[in-house]
Every structure is written in structure tokens, then in C-alpha cells.
Structure 1
Amino acid sequence: MANETVGKFSVYADTTGYVARIQFKYVTDDHKQILTDAKGDLLTFQTAVADPGDYGVPDGATLYLHLAVLMGKDIESDKAFVYEKDNASVAYYKCGGTTLFNTLDFLKVEG
């Protein structure tokens, strides 16, 4: 089954005991995995919306949502998507837990 195509990611921080920063891991044409720089601070009860292109992810790349957890264990989605610039579809996630026992749950794609 082919990966869904999306243009943005939305992350809601539900009762998190940590500060997270959004990153993306994408796969290049020669199968190298690249982790983008982290941006912004995502705090409890906040929602952040990110366009992977703003992080340097090329159009058409297969990518994964990655959260850098400050003073804790980073978390990454196991669900891959294909990034398409200006695509109206948004992948929705929810994160929670604590610095060492955290979760990242895929919710839906809408748009």
C-alpha cells in the first residue's frame, strides 16, 4: 500500500511533562536518512502545525514526524507519508507522557 500524501503536520501536546520540538526524518533518493533541524517549543495543551518544506524537506520525499524531547527521549512516528508542497491534507498527531515515558499517536489525515 502506498504512503498517503500530505502537506502539513499538526501535533497536539496532551498532558505532556516535557517540552518538544518538531523535526522530520526523510529519505533521500539514494536511501540516506536525513533528520532536519528542530524548531519551536511545543508545550502542554498547545498545538503546533508544521510544513515540512519549512524544515528543508524536499517535495516528494518520504518522511516521518520526529519530536525532539528536551531533557528526555526523542520520539518518532512509525507511519510514513509522502510530502507534497501545497497539499491541503494534514496529518494529525497527539503526544503525551513524560520525558522518558512519552507517546506519539497518529490520529488521522484530513483535508
Structure 2
Amino acid sequence: MIDLSDDQRTALEAAAFRRLVEHLRARSDVQNIDLMNLAGFCRNCLSNWYGEAAEEAGIKISKDESREIIYGEPYAQWQAKHQREASDAQKAAFETNKPSH
């Protein structure tokens, strides 16, 4: 395994995270339920993890604020523009594969 300093590792992880967030913003056609069913996490999970990390660092951030950071706009606005009603098959797959986090 490559030997990186803590600062290098953190910088690379941050860059990868930013790229993931930008990718998810660009792929608004991919629904959260599809992400959950295939990968076990979605944009909401990512925003929750962001909020939890902020809290652990002593930074007060609301759920709405962490979602806006991930979605790139207020969550309700993103939902209105991009979220579709989940199909019965998507809902059934979610119930079968629902992650415990």
C-alpha cells in the first residue's frame, strides 16, 4: 500500500468526495431508490454522513444544510425537478435490500 501522509490522504479523499458529489449532481436521472437498491446508499445517506462528520468535528449543521451541500440546491427544489414516484418493483427491491445504516 502506498505510504501517504495524513494531509495527502485527506486531500485525496476530499477530491474523490467532491468528484462523487459532482457526478451525482450531474446524474439527476439516477433516482435515490435506484442507488439504494444497487449500492446500499443514496444522496440522502451521503448528506447524513456529511452532517454526522460535521457534528463530530463540533460544527453545527442542519439536515437541510447538509442536503443542500450534497444536492447543490435545496432538497425540496431538487425533489420537485428530478424525483419520480418509485415503481412497485423499486419499492419491493428496497424492502428486500434495505440497508441498516
Greater RCO structure (CA 8 Å; 6+ sep): 1
The alignment's TM-score, normalised by the length of structure 2, stands at 0.26
The alignment's TM-score, normalised by the length of structure 1, stands at 0.24
The structure carrying a bigger helix percent of its residues is 2
The structure carrying a bigger strand percent of its residues is 1
